[in-house]
A = this chain, B = another copy of it.
Amino acid sequence: MAPKSAAAKARSPAPRWQRRADARPEEILEAALAEFDERGFEAARMEDIAKAAGISKAAIYLYFPSKMALLEALIEAKVAPLAAQAQKLAAAGQADPLNALKLFATVAAARMADPKVIAVPRLVIGISGRFPEIAEYYRTHVVAKARGALEKLIETGIANGAMRKVDTAAVVRAFIGPLFFEAMWTHVLKGETALADPQKLIEQQFDVLLHGLEPRA
């Protein structure tokens, strides 16, 4: 998408079609994700991916050596930004962890309304049996990092006195679990969703999370 830097341009005088060519890999990956998401990895056909990307089947092989490579590149491409986000969250939220969590949750919920966003985790679930390395990659690079960032936040919150002394892992599950569950319910099972109003969803979820179920004294 982003045009080459000026420096790069200077080095290699870009022919007319170069710009488009540079975008090709990303276009292909996008098309691949769409097909994988709709049909599953095995049932997706290279032909269809090519068509969706607006090129010929054979052209895909100019950029990726195999269908498997497509999958791997896809995961990798989609994973990088998530990891970065987790870092940011952990760093930024240290001051007011509770508020950071809520803010983050609202943003996350809003993004999850977009079917494309859970496409990758859903895909990972689908292929994890066949390609455990990919599942592991996803675990270590995305989920574990996110859990870690959240745990750090919780710990800070507890140290702060902003939160009760609770099991951090449990809180992380209580934080991620409902969102993950609702996303699956919405996009996989096509159930009527609460994600349509993320603000409200998080409000209600945090009401439970913060104050608990017990009747107040």
Which residues of A are interface residues toward B (Cβ below 8 A)? 37-43, 98, 122, 124-130, 132, 135-136, 138-139, 143-144, 157, 161-164, 166-167, 169-171, 173-174, 176-182, 184-185, 188-191, 194, 201, 204-205, 207-217
Contacts of A40 in B (CB 8 A): 40-42, 126-127, 129-130
Chain B residue at minimal CB-CB distance from A43: B42
A contact patch SS:
helix
Contacts of A138 in B (CB 8 A): 189
Are A212 and B215 in contact, with the CB atoms below 8 A? no
Q: Among B41, B163, B182, B190, which residue has its beta carbon within 8 angstroms of that of A213?
A: B163
Chain B residue at minimal CB-CB distance from A118: B125
Are A213 and B178 in contact, with the CB atoms below 8 A? no
Contacts of A190 in B (CB 8 A): 132, 135-136, 139
| 8 A-B pairs closest in CB distance | A212-B212, A177-B177, A126-B126, A42-B42, A177-B178, A173-B178, A139-B189, A177-B181
Are B214 and A194 in contact, with the CB atoms below 8 A? no
